[in-house]
């Protein structure tokens, strides 16, 4: 059902949440646009400016690694200044009320953690770009350290311990999905009787499989996004509106 107006949609959403035992939110870049972080596919989004660097290119080319870090530091102001928005705060309210066990997210911006959801309960399918890791030995590096190494010559550093390439702790196209996060996302999805996707175009796989998994498992499915998605037809409620506006009535102060 596509709600005809926003007020009806929010009322229906509230009814579904009240009736549910376990609400699992599934978020995408759209929840963070009001926080100043552009999404991928909207006009002005990241893809309209830069072609993504596939994982094999990152591995094989020093220039690709330099470019990846150049882009990351160019975005630093956006990421460092971003604070959780109304959508994040509303989902944190559900979590704090014991209505939701956490969140499954495609986002890499750390804003769910910033909104008060315990890091252990934020399932990051595509990693986190607020720190870096060595691809060979998995040692963690802080961005401040990477920046110090990168700044003088614009050269992406390798791991001083093992010589492996250092990459932001995100999952690039062509890189394998994090097994532990995938398993936990599946468990959380299957535990839900209400699955709410928020701000995702639902075109990136395998992440987009989770709403489908929830629906097939008998959960009600809600899709909140300002554009249509391919899954609207199977959703129990589709809310086409601005995420902050739709979710802010759920914020408990
Ligand atoms: P996407 O860019 O493909 O889709 C975002 C969707 O959100 C779009 O359909 C857009 O119409 C909608 N949207 C944007 N702002 C909205 C708003 N205020 N209200 C309602 N809808 C809004 O994003 P995706 O589905 O998450 O997939 C892209 C991939 O990009 C993800 O895997 C993620 O890892 C990565 N990414 C993450 C961030 C982040 O962490 N904030 C930002 C950009 C990209």
Interval 146-170 mean pLDDT? 97
User: Contact, 133 vs 16, CB < 8 A?
Assistant: no
> pLDDT confidence of 43, banded at 50, 70, 90?
low
Mean pLDDT of 232-243: 96
Contact 168, 52 (CB under 8 A): no
Confidence of residue 78 (pLDDT cuts 50, 70, 90): confident
Please say if the pLDDT value at position 4 is more than 80.
Answer: no
- The whole-number pLDDT of residue 49 equals 67
Name the pLDDT band for 41 (thresholds 50, 70, 90): confident
- H-assigned helices in 163-216: 179-191, 209-216
Ligand 1 site, residue 243, Cβ cutoff 6 A:
yes
3-state secondary structure 203-247: CCCCCCHHHHHHHHCCCEEEEECCCCCCCHHHCCEEECCCHHHHH
Higher pLDDT, 1 or 118: 118
> pLDDT tier at 202 (50, 70, 90 boundaries)?
very high
Q: What is the pLDDT of residue 38?
A: 86
CA of 101 to the centre of ligand 1 (A): 22
Of the ranges 6-10, 69-73, 90-94, 198-202, which one carries the lowest mean pLDDT score?
6-10
Q: What is the pLDDT of residue 97?
A: 96
* Alpha carbon distance, N-terminus to C-terminus of the chain: 31
User: H-helix or E-strand containing 86?
Assistant: helix 86-96
253 catalytic residue (yes or no): no
Q: Mean per-residue pLDDT for 226-248?
A: 96
Give the pairing of strands 194-198 and 23-27: parallel
209/177 Cα distance (integer angstroms): 13
Report the separation in Å between the CA atom of 40 and the middle of ligand 1, taken as the mean of its atom positions. Answer: 6
Specify the residue with its C-alpha closest to ligand 1, atom 32.
Answer: 106
pLDDT, the chain, mean: 94
For residue 110 and ligand 1, the question of a CB distance below 6 A is answered with no
Helix (H, G, I), strand (E, B) or coil at 60: helix
In this structure, of 39-53, 100-114, 178-192, the range with the lowest mean pLDDT score is 39-53
Q: How far is CA 189 from the centre of its chain?
A: 15
Give nearest CA residue, ligand 1 atom 30. Answer: 40
| pLDDT bucket at 157, cuts 50 / 70 / 90 | very high
Mean pLDDT of 27-39: 94
C-alpha 8 to ligand 1 mean position (Å)? 25
| % of the chain with per-residue pLDDT over 90 | 86
Convert the pLDDT of each residue in 205-230 to its tens digit. Answer: 999 999 999 999 999 999 999 999 99
Q: What Rg, from alpha-carbon coordinates, does the chain have?
A: 19
Query: Around 244, how many Cα atoms within 13 Å sit in the side-chain half-sphere?
Result: 9
Question: Which residue among 28, 87, 108 has the greatest number of ligand 1 atoms within 8 angstroms of its CB, and so is best to mutate?
Answer: 28
């Amino acid at each position: 059902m596509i709600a005809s107006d926003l007020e009806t949609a929010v009322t229906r959403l509230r009814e579904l949440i009240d009736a549910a035992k376990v609400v699992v939110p599934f978020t995408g870049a759209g929840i963070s646009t009001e926080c100043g972080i552009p999404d991928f596919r909207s006009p002005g989004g990241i893809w309209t400016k830069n072609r993504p660097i596939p994982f094999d290119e990152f591995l094989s080319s020093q220039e690709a690694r330099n470019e990846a870090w150049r882009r990351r530091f160019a975005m630093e102001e956006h990421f460092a200044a971003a604070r959780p928005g109304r959508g994040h705060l509303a989902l944190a309210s559900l979590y704090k009320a014991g209505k939701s066990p956490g969140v499954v997210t495609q986002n890499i911006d750390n804003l769910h953690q910033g909104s008060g959801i315990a890091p252990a309960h934020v399932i990051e399918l595509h990693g986190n770009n607020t720190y870096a890791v060595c691809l060979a030995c998995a040692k963690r590096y802080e961005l401040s350290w990477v920046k110090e190494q990168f700044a003088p010559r614009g050269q992406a550093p390798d791991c001083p311990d093992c010589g492996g390439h250092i990459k932001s702790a995100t999952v690039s196209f062509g890189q394998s999905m994090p097994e532990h996060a995938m398993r936990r996302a599946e468990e959380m999805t299957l535990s839900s009787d209400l699955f709410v996707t928020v701000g995702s175009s639902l075109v990136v796989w395998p992440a987009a499989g989770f709403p489908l998994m929830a629906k097939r498992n008998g959960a009600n499915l809600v899709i909140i996004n300002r554009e249509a998605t391919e899954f609207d037809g199977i959703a129990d409620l589709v809310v086409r509106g601005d995420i902050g506006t739709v979710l802010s009535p759920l914020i408990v102060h």
